[in-house]
Amino acid sequence: MALTYKARKRLALLILVIGLPLYVVVAVSLVNWLERPPIWLEFLVYVGLGFLWALPFRRIFRGIGQPDPDETP
């Protein structure tokens, strides 16, 4: 069952407002758990975690900035 445009838009907003801050807290906690690695390794960990965060949600975010395709003009 495919999500409607409005449902995808609401889900994307929920992910950005609630999910992303939670993910940032988890990422920072993970780096702190590693006991402050060298700056280049810390940078690579943050880049890798940022990339991994976007992968599962790319279908939800795709086309959200466009006008509603189901809406009649």
* Model pTM score: 0.75
How many domains are contained in the chain?
Answer: 1
Q: Give a yes or no: residue 27 inside a domain.
A: yes
Residue 45's closest CA among 56, 55, 32? Answer: 32
Digitized pLDDT (tens) for each residue of the chain, 73 residues in all: 688 888 889 999 999 999 999 999 988 998 888 788 899 988 998 899 888 888 888 888 888 888 888 777 7
* 12 within some domain: yes
Please tell me the predicted confidence (pLDDT) of residue 1.
61
Note whether residue 55 is domain-resident: yes
CA 69 to CA 13: how far, in whole Å?
Answer: 18
66 in a domain, yes or no? no
